[in-house]
Amino acid sequence: MTLPMLLGTLGFVGSSLAALFGLKYYRFAVNDDFRSNSDIGCSPRSCAAVLRENDAHLAGIPNFYPGLVYYLSLLLAPVLLPSAVSYMYYIALVFLTLVALGVGAYLIYSMIFKLKRYCTICLAAHAVTVCALIVLILDR
């Protein structure tokens, strides 16, 4: 599998995680639906606590929206990296990935040290971002 295809695969996985996080956000944080303790990827005691925090929003926007945009940009890698705009797209991906890593590092810190709760979906999405950086480094 080529490196652009790996980025596309990571983009698909990340987009799926961001969409799942969005569903959880609207279920737990907006609708106060705490009935199920066995939801995929998290429980009300972990995800709901994380989702209700101020840190779950970036400039008032739920974190999954910018995450979804970032992961969709990775999803386009197999199409755009081999094209004529590949260098600018590559630079933009590296920049977005570094920003995502910085924000992700703060969010992980907040989860571990402030909330003392863990959101499996969040940790998986941050792992996808780390993998994307590794693939981007290997690509050049």
CA distance 94 to 66: 16
- Per-residue pLDDT of 25-47, as tens digits, reads 777 655 655 554 445 556 556 66
- pLDDT (average), residues 123-128: 93
Helix orientation angle between 120-139 and 64-75, rounded to the nearest 10 degrees: 30
CATH number for the domain spanning 99: value is 1.20.1440.130
The answer to whether the pTM exceeds 0.95 is no
Domain that holds residue 23: 3-139
- 77 with 92: CB under 8 angstroms? no
Q: Per the structure, how many domains does the chain have?
A: 1
Does residue 63 have a pLDDT over 70? yes
Task: State residue 29's pLDDT score.
Answer: 57
Q: Tell me which of 39 and 100 has the higher pLDDT.
A: 100
Contact partners, residue 98, CB within 8 Å, separation at least 6:
133
Mean of pLDDT values over 3-26: 88
The tokens describing 60, both together, are 């008032």
